[in-house]
Amino acid sequence: MQPTRVGIRDAKIHLSKFIKMVQNGSEIILTDRGRPVGKIVPIQAKELPLSSRIKKLEDMGVLEALPQKSQKKLPLPISVPNDIAQTMLKEDRNNA
């Protein structure tokens, strides 16, 4: 994708339009009297916080947010007498 060249005056007037373009992956080259002076680029996904990456995936339709009411609390673990679960797990891992 070729970067879009924009004069500073035009960038001031239509900043929200150019920010939307950057959010969609475009790069904007800012010019002063036709001479490049700066660049606006999207932040790479790995630089975004986890909540922003999840929101982006939701916006793309990859993930679907659960409604707040449908989130259920997990039941407490079932207690097993004499640490039998840990013993069986250790035996299973030793036989692997």
Residues 6+ apart with CB under 8 A from 56: 45, 48
Q: Which domain holds residue 17?
A: 4-60
With respect to residue 51, please indicate whether it lies within any of the assigned structural domains.
yes
With respect to residue 42, please indicate whether it lies within any of the assigned structural domains.
yes
Q: How is 65-88 classified by DSSP, letter by letter?
A: PPPGGGPPPPPPPPP-GGGHHHHH
With respect to residue 14, please indicate whether it lies within any of the assigned structural domains.
yes
With respect to residue 48, please indicate whether it lies within any of the assigned structural domains.
yes
With respect to residue 79, please indicate whether it lies within any of the assigned structural domains.
no
96 confidence band (pLDDT: 50, 70, 90): low
Q: What is the pLDDT of residues 22-57, one digit of tens each?
A: 988 899 999 999 999 999 998 876 777 888 888 888
Q: What is the pTM of this model?
A: 0.48
Check residue 14 and give its pLDDT.
Answer: 95
With respect to residue 23, please indicate whether it lies within any of the assigned structural domains.
yes
Write the CATH number for 35.
3.40.1620.10
What's the number of domains the chain is made of? 1
